[in-house]
């Protein structure tokens, strides 16, 4: 199978490394510095010959990329959306590719940091699997990659991820913005916070904005954590 990945960021390159032992893998990206063994860079037009196209792009790029992809897309080609937010990305996908018979709308709950040693045992959240190609991909992810697949609605996904992702990234970014100086000694609990800050430093600003502004339930959770901290500070005062 020929897999074309749109997007050459850290996650796009990670996906290429995951699939390259099993399939022909190509990356379509504006970046020119990507060098991966057994992975070729291709122009956008060459995506027309792919059996599977993975969208490893920010939410803000979905509409323009899909509009450009639509005229060249073959019915048998599987389109895979791996965006970190699902309600909005799903709406765009179903609108721009209305009637396309093979689509997999999902969110891998892992990445280049958390799955550095392999995908076995990690989770794949699936909100929509349309067509035989989508179900074959799910079978591959379970049987070969060892992923645990969970089926939920897009709304259920985003509601949960408003705490799992939005809250975590928001707190990490806020702590990082404090610019805490190097300390002479720390406790294990503080080191957990430092590890969270360091993890956030490895994420792109595009991913941060996708998670914070693309999740329709995110603003509510951010208000909750700010209110909770304000209430706690007031109780101490």
Average pLDDT over residues 18-36: 94
**171 vs 42: CA distance, rounded Å:** 38
**134 vs 129: CA distance, rounded Å:** 5
Q: Report residue 202's pLDDT band, with 50, 70 and 90 as the boundaries.
A: confident
Average pLDDT over residues 182-191: 93
Torsion angle in degrees (nearest 10) through CA of 66, 128, 204, 198: -170
| Mean of pLDDT over the chain | 95
Q: Which residues of 126-158 are buried (b: 16+ CB within 10 A; e: fewer)?
A: bbbbbbebbebbbeebeeebebeeeeeebeebb
**32 pLDDT more than 90:** no
pLDDT in tens, 94-122: 999 999 999 999 999 999 988 989 999 99
**3 vs 224: CA distance, rounded Å:** 41
For the chain, the C-alpha Rg in angstroms (whole number) is 19
**213 vs 193: CA distance, rounded Å:** 24
Strand intervals (E) in the chain:
2-6, 24-28, 39-41, 52-55, 78-81, 103-108, 123-130, 148-151
pLDDT number for residue 106: 98
Q: Do the beta carbons of residue 5 and residue 54 sit within 8 Å?
A: yes
pLDDT number for residue 216: 97
228 vs 200 pLDDT, higher one = 228
pLDDT in tens, 130-170: 999 999 999 999 999 999 999 999 999 999 999 999 999 99
Percent of the chain surpassing pLDDT 70: 100
**3 vs 16: CA distance, rounded Å:** 9
**86 vs 104: CA distance, rounded Å:** 12
pLDDT number for residue 61: 95
pLDDT number for residue 234: 96
**181 pLDDT more than 90:** no
Q: Is the dihedral of CA 137, 138, 142, 148 positive or negative?
A: positive
pLDDT number for residue 203: 84
**204 pLDDT more than 90:** no
Average pLDDT over residues 51-79: 97
Q: Do the beta carbons of residue 216 and residue 88 sit within 8 Å?
A: yes
**49 pLDDT more than 90:** yes
Average pLDDT over residues 41-67: 96
Domains of the chain: 2-152 (3.40.50.720), 155-236 (no CATH)
Average pLDDT over residues 52-62: 96
């Amino acid at each position: 199978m020929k897999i074309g990945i749109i997007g050459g960021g850290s996650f796009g390159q990670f996906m290429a490394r995951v699939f390259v032992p099993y399939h022909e893998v190509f990356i379509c990206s504006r970046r020119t510095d990507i060098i991966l063994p057994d992975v070729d860079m291709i122009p956008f037009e060459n995506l027309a010959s792919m059996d599977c196209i993975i969208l490893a792009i920010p939410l803000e790029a979905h509409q323009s990329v899909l509009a450009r992809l639509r005229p060249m897309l073959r019915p048998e080609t599987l389109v895979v959306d791996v965006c970190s937010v699902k309600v909005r990305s799903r709406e765009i996908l179903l609108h721009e590719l209305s009637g396309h018979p093979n689509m997999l709308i999902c969110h891998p709950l892992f990445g280049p940091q958390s799955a550095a040693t392999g995908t076995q045992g990690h989770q794949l959240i699936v909100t929509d699997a349309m067509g035989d190609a989508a179900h074959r991909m799910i079978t591959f992810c379970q049987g070969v990659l060892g992923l645990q697949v969970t089926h939920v609605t897009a709304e259920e996904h985003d509601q949960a991820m408003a705490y799992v992702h939005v809250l975590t990234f928001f707190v990490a970014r806020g702590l990082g913005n404090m610019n805490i100086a190097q300390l002479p000694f720390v406790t294990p609990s503080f080191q957990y916070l430092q590890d969270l800050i360091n993890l956030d430093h490895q994420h792109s600003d595009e991913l941060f904005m996708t998670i914070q502004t693309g999740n329709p339930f995110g603003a509510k959770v951010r208000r909750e954590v700010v209110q909770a901290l304000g209430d706690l500070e007031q109780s101490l005062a």
